Amino acid sequence: MFPLQLLALTFISSLSLQDEEDEGERKEVMKEEVTESRYDLIFRRGDLLEVPRTLFTHFGIYLGGGRVAHFIPDILPLLSSDRYRIKQMVTNFRLLLGVIAKCGSVRVDHVDDFAFGAKILVNSTDKVCSCAALQGDAVAQRAERLQGDIAYSLLWWNCEHFVMFCRYGTAVSFQSFQFCKTVRKLLLSSGVAMVMVVLSPCLLLSGAAVSWSMVLLAALPPFLIWMAS
């Protein structure tokens, strides 16, 4: 828990260093977009929205006016400063590269774009989380403050950490926790880690026929470590 909170703190302090003018521009954009929406009848400002996907669950905070703040991996902020292009819907390709490059952004999208046709669960983490939810408006304000491009980590700072921080004040991810538990069980039971560590340099040094598969095998552990950090 402690490293995560520390992470959340560094994350916030780095955000406050952002340009003032950037801030002004952002507020301007926000003002334009806020209109009444039929979703205001279903959701309340600060509600935690959850969309189950095939492999994982995506999370967001409802801001009102049919808008959702959510944290999504995205490579584009690294490559371009074109706000308009970044604002377009994130493709799977952008998302995947974002996960690998560990870059993402907290963005505001319409509920329909956020859910992408899937069923939306509301506040269901309230039952699982040991902390009480903050007041709705405070939750939404946190989410709004965190808008922008930030570092993404599949395990340590993902979409779930973002909403948990906004709604309960602690950045935890049950998905990451489950994932780590599964991986640890796997590693401990089969000794896979040991084999990888011993095998990959041997393969590379054996010289004779360094095939692509060997190179890949050797590159795997550092890649996994990068992804896990």
Ligand X SMILES: *[C@@H]1O[C@H](CO)[C@@H](O)[C@H](O)[C@H]1NC(C)=O
Interacting residue ranges for ligand X, rule: CB under 6 A:
43-44, 47, 122-123, 133
CA distances from 93 to 37, 44, 172 (A): 30, 32, 26
Query: For 192, what's the count of Cα atoms within 13 Å in the CB-facing half-sphere?
Result: 11
Q: Which residue is nearest to ligand X (CB)?
A: 123
Backbone angles phi, psi at 118, to 5 degrees: -85, 165
Q: How far is the CB of 172 from ligand X (least distance, A)?
A: 18
What CA–CA distance (Å, rounded) separates 188 from 202?
22
Q: How far is the CB of 5 from ligand X (least distance, A)?
A: 22
**Nearer Cβ to ligand X, position 47 or 50?**
47
CA distances from 34 to 101, 138, 182, 189 (A): 32, 18, 42, 53
The letter for the amino acid at 27 is K
**Nearer Cβ to ligand X, position 74 or 160?**
160
Q: How far is the CB of 46 from ligand X (least distance, A)?
A: 7
**Nearer Cβ to ligand X, position 14 or 135?**
135
Instruction: Provide the annotated active-site residues.
Output: 159
